[in-house]
Structure 1
C-alpha cells in the first residue's frame, strides 16, 4: 500500500520505514475489550459493558468513534490527506464520541461549592478537548518510540491514579493502553522497524482523551481534569509553542518544521535514543507530580504545580533549549553583526 516513511530533510529516519502501525495497536485494544465483554457475558464478571448499571455512556458508540479516528489516520498514512480533510475527520470522530454520552458536562467549582454546568457547550468543549489530545500526540511523534513511550508513561500514572480513586473502568482502559504501547515499543524503539503513523498517533491521543473524560465523569473535580494535562504537559507545551511559532512567522499552523523539542535535543547532539530517554524521564517526573497532586488538597496542589514548573524550567535550561530558541530568534531578526548579542558567534549559529 506504500504506507512508508521515506528519508527526507524533515525526517530523522535514514531508510524507508513502514508506517500505519496504529492498526496493530487498535487491534490490540479491540481484543482486550472483547475479552472484557466475553468475561462479563459468559463468566459473570462485574464490569462495565454487559452488566452496566444504567450508565449514560454508549460504549459501543465511543468505540465506533475511536475506530473512525483510526481509519482517518490510516487513510492519511496511505494517501497523505490534505490537512483540512484530516482535521475534519478528527472533528467527526470526536463528535461521534461526544454524542455517545462521553461528555465534559460539568466540573466542581474550584472557587466554592457546587458544580459549573456547561449545558449545550459541553459538546463543543468535549470535541475540542479530544481533537487537541489527538494533535498533541500527533505532533510529538517525531522520533522512534517517542509518542508511544510518552503515552505509555501517561497510561501508567493514569492507571495508578484511577485505581487509587476506585475508578475501575478508567483504570482498565489505562492498563489496556499501557499494554498496547509497551508491546508496540518492542518494534518502535530506536532503531524502529515500524512507525505508528497517524493511525497510531491519533488513536493514542484519542484514547488519552477518552480515559481522562471517563475519570472526570466518575469524579468531576478540577484535580481529576488537571492530572492528565499535567502528565501530557510536554507534548501540550510543544504543540502550543509550534502553533505560536508558526503564527508569529505568518506560516500555516499545519506546516511542518524542525523546531520541536526533540529536534532541538538532536541538534544539541544527544542522539535519537538519548533524546527519547530524556523526554521519558521528564514525563515520568511530571507523572509522579500528578500522582502526588491527586492525593493532595488545597495549597499542596499549587505547591506541587510550582515545583513541576520550576523543575521543568531547570531541565530546559540545563539542556540548553533556551539558548537554541534565542539563537533561532536572533538569526531571523538580526542581519547586522553589531545587532547580534555577543554570545551569537561568528558564524551566526
Structure 2
C-alpha cells in the first residue's frame, strides 16, 4: 500500500467517523460548556472527537503494517490514553489521576521495547552516542508524558491541536523518509491523514473538539513514534529534530510552567496565559491566531528537517538559533511582565 493510499484512506475514514463520534458525544454528555474566561467558544460543543482520529489511525495501521510487538505495544498503550481521555471528557478526572494513567501507559510502551536507548553527541561524528542504560526509562517516561500533556495544553482554539498534529506528523514523515525509517514513515502519514480528516469538522467554527481523548492521543503517539524512529539511528534522527518538530507545544508548556511557578499556582492548574490567549488579547481573530501558530509550527518543522540533512555542527546552530529567537520574542514582547504574572 502506497503512502498516498494510506494518507487518503485514513483521512476519509476519519472524515466518515467524526459525525458518528459527535452523536456518541451527545449521548454520553461529553459536552464542553463555556463556563469560564479560558474558553473562547460561546456555545456548548461536543468533545471526545479525538476518538475518530484514534480509530482511523488504528484501522489503517493494522491493514498497512505487520502486527508485530512494536505495533501491538503502540496501539495498546495508546488505547489506555484514549480511554482515559474519554472518561475525562465525560466526567473530569483529577490531574493526579491522569498523570498516573499516563505513567502506566508510558511504562507499557517501555515493556514493549519502545524507549530512548541512546542519544547522539553533536560534533562528535556519526557513530558517537551515549548509551543511557538505566536512565533510558525515566527519560522515555519524561518525554512521552511531557509531550502528551504539551498537546493537551495547546488544545485551546478550534483546529489548533489537530492542525499542529497534522504539521508535526508531516514533519516526522519527511524526516522518516530521509532516514529510511519505514515503520515511522507509515505511522506518521496515517496519523497526518487522520488529523486532516478530523480537521474538516474541527476548524473554526468547530462542530466538535478533540477533547482530552484526541489531544492526549496525538501527543502520546507522536512522542512514541519519534522514539521508534530514533531506535538504532541516533545521529540522523537526533533529539534536536524531535524537539523542533514539536516546538510550539513544548514552548507553550514551558511558558505555562514558569508562569504558574512565578504566580505560586499549581503547575497542573489551568489559566488563560497560553500563546493563543496572548495573541487573541492582542486583537487577532480566532482564525488568524490559529494560522499564525500553524506558520510558526511549519517554520520549526522545516528547521527540524534541515537538522537531519545538514552536518551536526550546523544542525546544533539552527536549533540554538530557533530557541534563541523564541526566547527573544518572549522577552521583547511589551506585555512580557503581564504574561508572567497573569492572574
Map of 1:36 onto structure 2: 64
CA distance in 1, matches of 2:275, 2:101: 27
The answer to whether the Cα contact below 8 Å between 1:91 and 1:131 also exists between their aligned partners in 2 is: yes
CA distance in 2, matches of 1:274, 1:3: 28
Cα deviation digits, residues 60-91 of structure 1 (max 9, x gap): 12211010110011111011001111111111
Q: What TM-score do you get using the length of structure 1 for normalisation?
A: 0.84
Map of 1:26 onto structure 2: 54
Whether 2:256 is the aligned partner of 1:247: answer no
Measured after TM superposition, the shift of residue 330 of structure 1 is 7.5
Map of 2:285 onto structure 1: 271
Local SS of the residue matching 2:223: helix
Structure 2 unaligned runs (5+)?
1-27
Local SS of the residue matching 1:104: coil
Whether 2:116 is the aligned partner of 1:116: answer no
Local SS of the residue matching 2:238: helix
Whether 2:109 is the aligned partner of 1:97: answer yes
Measured after TM superposition, the shift of residue 121 of structure 1 is 2.2
More contact order relative to length (CA 8 Å, sep ≥ 6): 2
Measured after TM superposition, the shift of residue 218 of structure 1 is 3.8
CA distance in 2, matches of 1:104, 1:229: 14
More divergent stretch after superposition (4-13 vs 271-280): 4-13
Local SS of the residue matching 2:130: strand
The answer to whether the Cα contact below 8 Å between 1:215 and 1:224 also exists between their aligned partners in 2 is: no
Map of 1:40 onto structure 2: none
Measured after TM superposition, the shift of residue 20 of structure 1 is 0.3
CA distance in 1, matches of 2:290, 2:263: 28
CA distance in 1, matches of 2:233, 2:244: 17
Whether 2:330 is the aligned partner of 1:305: answer no
The answer to whether the Cα contact below 8 Å between 1:71 and 1:199 also exists between their aligned partners in 2 is: yes
Map of 1:156 onto structure 2: 170
Q: What TM-score do you get using the length of structure 2 for normalisation?
A: 0.86
Structure 1: 4+ residue segments shifted above 6 A = none
Map of 1:44 onto structure 2: none
Structure whose alpha-carbon radius of gyration is higher? 1
Map of 2:31 onto structure 1: 4
CA distance in 2, matches of 1:309, 1:133: 17
After superposition, the Cα gap between the structure-2 partners of 1:250 and 1:312, relative to the gap in structure 1 and judged at 3 Å, is: closer
After superposition, the Cα gap between the structure-2 partners of 1:32 and 1:204, relative to the gap in structure 1 and judged at 3 Å, is: same
CA distance in 2, matches of 1:236, 1:248: 18
Measured after TM superposition, the shift of residue 232 of structure 1 is 1.1
Cα deviation digits, residues 293-349 of structure 1 (max 9, x gap): 1101133213322443455467668xxx821222455887xxxxxxxxxxxxxxxxx
